[in-house]
C-alpha cells in the first residue's frame, strides 16, 4: 500500500461528473511488417494481450487500484488489486467502414467521454480492427494520476519495440502478490500519522515559499525587461462555457521539418512556433463562428519539471499561462511576442514550482479540495470571472525512430489530453519520425465541430513558413 503523492492526487480532486482527468493515445499500425504474416485480424488482439501480460511487471501502477481514505482525511492509497483482470483492461473493437480518420476519431471521442472506473487500475487498451487499408489501431487510456506526457513516452519505451520481432523481457524477480483491501480503521490510522507529520513540514514549506516569492517580486519590480512576461487573463469566448460530459475529437498532422525550418529562421523554441500557429488558427476558427474577442487568447501550457534521469511514469509537471498574441496582424510579430513571454515565464516557473509545488501539494486537504472543485463546477462560477486561460496547449517530444507493437509498425500517433473546468478545448501535439501529430479534444456540448480547426492550423503554419523562407 502506498499513499498517492499530492501532485498526482490533485488530478483526482479535479474530477467531476463532467470533467474527467485521463489522457488518451491513438496509434495506427501496419500489420504487413509482422514476421510470418497475419493470419486473422483477431490474432492482433491476442498478440497485444500476450505482449502486455509478459511486460506487466515493468508498469507497477497497471496492477494497482485506488482506495479512498474515509472522510477524505488524507490522500488516497494505491494497493495491489486483489481482483486484477487483464481482460478487463485489454479489449477488442472494430470500426464501421470505411475506417478512416473520422471514424477513428468518433470512436476515440466516445471512449474519451467516459470516466475511468475507480474500482480497477487506471488504464485501458483497445485493439481496434477495421482501419482502412487493412491496418489496426491501438487506443490507450490512462488516468493522469498515474502518468504525465513525458512519463507516457517513458512507458512507450517498455511497451513498444525497435524491430518487428518483439524483444525478450527478463521475468520479474519475484512473484506478484495481491493485497487485501485495507479496513477503514487501518486507513484512518495511516491518515492520523500522516497528519501528525505534516505541520512541521508545512511550516518549512511556507518559509521557503515566502523567500522565493520575495525574490520574484523584487525581480519583477526592478527589471524593466520583464514587463509583459506575466500573462493577463484571457477573454471570454465560446471555448469557455461550462464543460459538459461529452467529447469530440479531431486528428491532424504536419511536417516536423517545416516546423523546425520556422524555428531556425527566427531562432525561437519549437514550442513558441506551436503556440503562435495555434493562436492564429484559433483566432480564425473563432471568427468563423462570430466570436472575435478584442484581447489575445491565453493558453495554459504544461511544463515538465522532471529532473534528468527520472524515468518514472508519475506526474512531474507544472504549468504556465502564455498570451498567444493572436491580435497581431503580422505572424512574425506574433511569434516574437510569444518568445518574449515564454522565456521569462518558464524561468520564473522553475524558481517557483520545481520544489515548492511538490511540497505544497502534499498538504492539500482532500475533503476541501474535492468539494471546492464540485462547488465551482455546479455553480458555473467559471462564467463569473475572466478565464485564467482559454484552453490548454501541450507539446511533447516523441521518438524519432520507428516503433513496433506485436510486430506491426506504428505509422501515426495522436495524443489527447483532458479538459478542465471552464476550458472546452485541449490541443496536444507529439512528434514521431518526421511528423508532428495533432490531437484535438473539445466539449461536444458547447464547442462547434473542431475538424475545421485542423485546416486553420495548417493554413496558419503555411503563413509562418512563407515568412520564414523570406527571412
- Tell me which residues are annotated as active site: 144
- At what angle are helices 42-55 and 149-159 packed, to 10 degrees? 100
Task: Report in angstroms the alpha-carbon separations of 466 from 169, 176, 324, 338, 437.
Answer: 48, 57, 20, 19, 21
- For residues 13 and 370, the answer to whether their CB atoms sit within 8 Å is yes
Contact 242, 384 (CB under 8 A): no
Q: Using alpha carbons, select from 308, 326, 320 the residue that is nearest to residue 353.
A: 320
Question: Quick one: cell of 49?
Answer: 494481450
Residues 6 or more apart whose Cβ sits within 8 Å of residue 105: 249, 250, 251
- SS3 for the chain is CEECCHHHHHHHHCCCCCCCCEEEEEEEEEHHHCCCCCCCCHHHHHHHHHHHHHHHHHCHHHHEEEECCHHHCCCCEEEECCCCCHHHHEEEEECCCCCCHHHHHHHHHHHHHCCCCCCCCCEEEEEEEEEHHHEEEEEEEEECCCCCHHHHHHHHHHHCECCCCCCCCCCCCCCCCCCCCCCHHHHHHHHHHHHHHHHHHHHHHHHHHHHHHHHHHHHHHHCHHHCCCCCCCCCCCHHHCCCCCCEEEEEEEEEHHHHHHHHHHHCCCHHHHHHHHHHHHHHHHHHHCCCCCCCCCEEEEEEECCCCCCCCCCCCEEEEEEECCCCCCCHHHHHHHHHHHHHHHHHHHHHHHCCHHHHHHCCCCHHHHHHHHHHHHHCCHHHHCCCCCCEEEEEECCCCCCCEECCEEEEEEEEECCCECCECEEEEEEEECCEEEEEEEEECCCCCCCHHHHHHHHHHHHHHHHHHHHC
Amino acid at each position: 500500500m502506498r499513499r498517492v503523492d499530492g501532485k498526482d492526487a490533485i488530478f483526482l480532486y479535479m474530477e467531476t461528473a463532467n470533467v474527467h482527468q485521463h489522457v488518451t493515445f491513438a496509434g495506427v499500425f501496419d500489420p504487413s511488417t509482422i514476421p510470418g504474416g497475419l493470419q486473422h485480424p483477431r490474432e492482433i488482439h491476442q498478440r497485444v494481450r500476450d505482449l502486455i501480460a509478459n511486460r506487466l511487471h515493468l508498469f507497477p501502477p497497471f496492477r494497482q487500484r485506488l482506495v479512498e481514505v474515509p472522510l477524505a482525511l488524507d490522500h488516497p492509497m494505491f494497493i495491489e488489486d486483489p481482483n486484477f483482470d487483464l481482460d478487463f483492461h485489454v479489449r477488442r473493437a472494430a470500426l464501421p467502414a470505411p475506417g478512416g480518420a473520422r471514424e477513428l476519431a468518433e470512436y476515440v471521442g466516445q471512449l474519451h467521454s467516459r470516466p475511468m472506473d475507480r474500482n480497477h487500475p487506471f488504464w485501458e487498451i483497445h485493439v481496434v480492427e477495421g482501419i482502412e487499408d487493412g491496418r489496426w489501431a491501438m487506443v490507450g487510456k490512462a488516468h493522469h494520476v498515474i502518468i504525465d506526457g513525458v512519463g507516457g513516452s517513458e512507458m512507450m519505451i517498455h511497451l513498444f519495440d525497435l524491430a518487428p520481432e518483439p524483444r525478450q523481457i527478463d521475468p520479474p524477480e519475484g512473484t506478484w502478490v495481491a493485497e487485501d483491501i485495507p479496513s477503514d480503521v487501518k486507513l484512518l490510522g495511516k491518515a492520523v500519522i500522516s497528519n501528525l507529520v505534516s505541520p512541521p513540514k508545512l511550516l518549512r514549506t511556507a518559509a521557503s515559499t515566502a523567500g522565493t516569492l520575495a525574490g520574484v517580486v523584487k525581480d519583477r519590480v526592478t527589471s524593466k525587461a520583464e514587463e509583459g512576461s506575466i500573462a493577463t487573463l484571457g477573454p471570454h469566448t465560446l471555448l469557455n462555457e461550462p464543460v459538459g460530459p461529452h467529447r469530440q475529437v479531431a486528428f491532424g498532422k504536419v511536417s516536423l521539418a517545416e516546423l523546425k525550418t520556422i524555428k531556425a529562421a527566427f531562432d525561437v523554441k519549437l514550442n513558441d512556433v506551436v503556440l503562435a500557429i495555434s493562436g492564429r488558427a484559433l483566432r480564425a476558427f473563432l471568427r468563423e463562428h462570430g466570436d472575435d474577442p478584442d484581447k489575445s487568447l491565453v493558453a495554459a501550457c504544461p511544463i515538465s519539471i522532471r529532473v534528468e534521469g527520472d524515468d518514472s511514469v508519475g506526474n512531474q509537471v507544472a504549468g504556465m499561462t502564455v498570451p498567444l498574441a493572436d491580435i497581431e496582424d503580422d505572424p512574425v510579430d506574433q511569434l516574437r511576442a510569444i518568445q518574449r513571454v515564454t522565456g521569462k515565464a518558464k524561468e520564473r516557473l522553475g524558481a517557483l514550482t520545481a520544489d515548492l509545488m511538490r511540497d505544497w501539494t502534499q498538504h492539500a486537504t482532500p475533503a476541501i479540495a474535492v468539494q471546492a472543485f464540485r462547488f465551482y463546477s455546479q455553480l458555473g462560477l467559471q462564467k463569473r470571472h475572466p478565464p485564467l486561460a482559454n484552453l490548454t496547449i501541450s507539446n511533447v517530444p516523441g521518438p524519432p525512430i520507428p516503433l513496433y507493437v506485436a510486430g506491426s509498425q506504428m505509422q501515426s500517433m495522436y495524443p489527447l489530453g483532458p479538459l478542465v473546468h471552464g476550458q472546452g478545448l485541449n490541443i496536444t501535439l507529439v512528434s514521431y519520425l518526421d511528423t508532428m501529430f495533432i490531437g484535438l479534444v473539445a466539449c461536444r456540448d458547447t464547442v462547434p465541430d473542431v475538424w475545421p480547426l485542423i485546416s486553420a492550423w495548417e493554413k496558419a503554419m503555411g503563413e509562418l513558413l512563407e515568412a520564414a523562407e523570406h527571412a
